[in-house]
Amino acid sequence: MSVFTTLKSSLKNAFDYAVYRESTENRLKKPQVIAALVTANMPFADGTESYELRLVEALKRTRTRDLETLQGANVSIILDTRLTAQTLGFADRAISGAYYQTAGKRIVALPDGGKTDAQGGMFDPLYSEQGAHVLERLAGLVREGALPKGDTAMYASRYAYHSGRAGTVTVMEWRAAAGFDQKTLAKNPALKLPPRP
């Protein structure tokens, strides 16, 4: 391999890391990983024509490494309109994602507004981007071996922390049902149970 080819390859990888947050190799295999995940999770489709497209949008924004981690742990990734129809009071914490582990199955539910990113208006939330953050944090728990054993439910939400000079930092965190905002769960009892295909 020539020096020029090696340099070009290194620059391409650096560009991909800067723009896509992952290597060229991972970026190129992402379509196959996404296709496998979408096919496996179509039993949960809501019957609309755009369900698959909305799911693909969320998966495209997620790093390939995280998708492969969840795929390897047999986690089904689905869209759930219940997350965008939550009943919330002024100080209640919104659920950004829900994880269910029951009867040997693992399901992560992402918020679904029923519209693709292109169909949404200027002020509509970008659910695909929020879903990517939820999946990234869950994949981290899988890699750390930090998923609870047995039947469980966990909920993701944004938490703000004050960090000295950096000011307030907002991060996505997963918490078990017992450690999550009980007022939110009481107002949204359907979210205590996994969605049904």
Answer whether residue 6 is part of any domain.
Answer: no
Write out pLDDT tens, residues 108-122: 999 887 776 666 655
Q: How far apart are CA 31 and CA 34, in angstroms?
A: 5
Domain carrying residue 63: 30-192
* Three-state secondary structure string covering 145-190: CCCCCCCEEEEEEEEEEECHHHCEEEEEEEEEHHHCCHHHHHHCHH
Q: Is 70 part of any domain?
A: yes
Residue 13 within a domain: no
User: In the structure encoding, which two tokens stand for residue 161, read together?
Assistant: 């922390």
Q: What is the pTM of this model?
A: 0.84
User: Are the CB atoms for 98 and 25 separated by under 8 Å?
Assistant: no
Residue 71, Cβ neighbours under 10 Å: how many? 17
Residue 75 falls inside a structural domain? yes
Q: Looking at the domain assignment, is residue 80 inside a domain?
A: yes
pLDDT digits (tens, 9 = 90+) for 50-80: 889 889 988 988 999 999 999 999 999 999 9
Domain count, the chain: 1
Give one DSSP letter per residue of 71-94, joined into a string: HHTTEEEEEEGGGGS----TTPPP
Query: Is position 2 within any domain?
Result: no
